[in-house]
Amino acid sequence: MRKLYIFDTTLRDGEQSLGITLNVNEKLEVARQLEKLGIDIIEAGFPASSPGDLEAVRTLAREIKGMVICGLTRAVKKDIDVCAEALREAEQPRIHTGIAVSPVHMEKKLRFSPDEVVETAVAAVIHAKKYVNDVEFYAEDAFRSDPAFLVKILEKVIAAGATVVNIPDTVGYATPWGYGELISFLMAKVKNIETVIVSTHCHNDLGMATANSLAGVMAGASQVEGTINGIGERAGNTSLEEVIMAIYAQKTLYGVNTAINTKEIAATSRLVSRITGVPVPSHKAIVGANAFMHASGIHQDGVLKEKTTYEIINPEVVGIPRNLIVLSARSGRHALRHRLGELGYQLTQDQLDGLYARFLQLADQKGEIFDEDLHALMGLNGRQNRIVLKNIAVSTNGISSATATVTLGVGEETLTDAACGTGPVDAVFKAIDRIVGKTVKLEDYSLKSTSRGSETLGHATVKVRYAGGSLIVGNGISTDVIEASTKAYLNALAKINFG
């Protein structure tokens, strides 16, 4: 079996497509989880696109070891210079550079002749090679390119020193048979292609990104690029968890193996969903809430008799254990640590002590604590805001008017103010704006139940924008929906540099 390299672009293609800016700490948190998952290559960002992306790539290059850290560039000398600087401290740096190769892109977007595109591509690879040994070339919109031209440009960049050639279906236009045929054609026609890694990078506009990527693997590709939960441009990228588990479920079909620790898949999905504020649909393959549930009586009967009748994957394989321990306010630290360990969380004693106090508070409110509650608690564990909620008081007058009085700890000060709004949450947010002295634009607000029972936790997510900047995501949890919403708003504000 040949090695299949898993290339994660959640922090680049995934983040950029959402209009959201993840801060350095958030990117580092995701990267460390990707390290646990066993990802081979992390595309950490596009350093030349912004100072924030530059700093994020630089930080990941310095902090994350044992895997390839990659930065994206255009086929532009300055982009490559900036990327090389960002990757300077990486243990295994890779520069990912490239250019569009389809007729429509060359003529309408680049306004380059085909010969100019080849010349630019070769120059970019040669320049990147001055900084790093590992250079990946992407042929943007490769699926809609002229195959003969694609062969020509790939031969040129391989001769120039590219170590990986990426064959993107940039607009999600391919079908599995068409994409597989293209990879097979290139494997047969491109001179010296056996000396490089061939990579897939598929988008999901027609809902076939995972299938196309797998077809590429069967045709000879040895790297798959995608994102956790399939987030990305427009309809998203290839969902890495789907590719990984498709190969796991039918190992002999694809003839490849990976270094992935599948038990970290569920935890990785939850983390990416929380940090990006993009919920995972309940019906989502592998990581959706209903992925391993059986509602039909016929299915339930079959599963009770023999799990493999309706389960092609054991949920424990992706990190969704079958819970045999009931946690309550009477549970001790040992039971809590044990259950968290089963869910994939490893805590120091100080972290456990801090979490246990919040666990007991929640257990007193709810009675029984479910796995979903623990995931919610862990999602905010250790995340300190510089703005702390002290108290909320809300009064309503009819269904469309409310007044909120909010007390916050801001630095060393305790400040209180009040405001009116069209409802309790609106009033609270306006009161907070008055205290902070800044007004942000609320772009999105959602509230969902994270668990079961009448005292379920509410998980609030807000997306805000300050002074026309990028979207910032905030999360908050509480059994009280107004408190959860308030915490989410404060969590977002704490991430903004008001200048």
Task: Give me the DSSP letters along 291-336.
Answer: TT---SHHHHHHHHH-GGGT-SS-GGGGT-------EETT--HHHH
d(CA 197, CA 259): 16
Query: What is the pLDDT tens value at each position of the chain, 499 positions in all?
Result: 899 999 999 999 998 777 777 889 999 999 999 999 999 999 999 999 999 899 999 999 999 999 999 999 999 999 999 999 999 999 999 999 999 999 999 999 999 999 999 999 999 999 999 999 999 999 999 999 999 999 999 999 999 999 999 999 999 999 999 999 999 999 999 999 999 999 999 999 999 999 999 999 999 999 999 999 999 999 999 999 999 999 999 989 999 999 999 999 999 999 999 899 899 998 999 999 888 876 566 766 776 688 788 888 988 899 887 654 567 888 888 888 887 887 778 888 988 888 888 888 888 877 777 777 787 788 665 555 667 889 999 998 777 789 999 999 887 789 999 999 999 999 999 999 999 888 899 999 999 887 666 567 788 999 999 888 888 888 888 888 999 999 899 988 988 877 6
CA distances to 37, 126, 154, 290 from 244, in Å = 11, 33, 27, 19
Q: Which two tokens stand for residue 479?
A: 């059994």
pTM of the predicted model, to two decimals? 0.83
Fold match, 2-276 / 387-493: no
The answer to whether 178 and 185 have CB atoms below 8 angstroms apart is no
CATH of 387-493 given 3.30.160.270, 3.40.50.300, 3.40.50.1370, 3.90.640.10:
3.30.160.270
Q: Helix, strand or coil for residue 69?
A: strand
CA-CA-CA-CA dihedral for 4, 9, 11, 14, to nearest 10: -140
The answer to whether 243 and 19 have CB atoms below 8 angstroms apart is no
The answer to whether 132 and 164 have CB atoms below 8 angstroms apart is no
Angle at 244 between CA 206 and CA 225, to 5 degrees: 60
Q: 2-276 falls under which CATH superfamily?
A: Aldolase class I (3.20.20.70)
Beta bridge partners of 69: 42, 93
Token pair 């350093």 is found at: 47
d(CA 481, CA 30): 27
| Run of H or E including 135 | strand 134-140
The answer to whether 174 and 141 have CB atoms below 8 angstroms apart is no
Token pair 């200048």 is found at: 499
Q: Strand locations in 207-311, DSSP E?
A: 223-226, 256-257
The domain spans of the chain are 2-276, 297-379, 387-493
d(CA 160, CA 194): 15
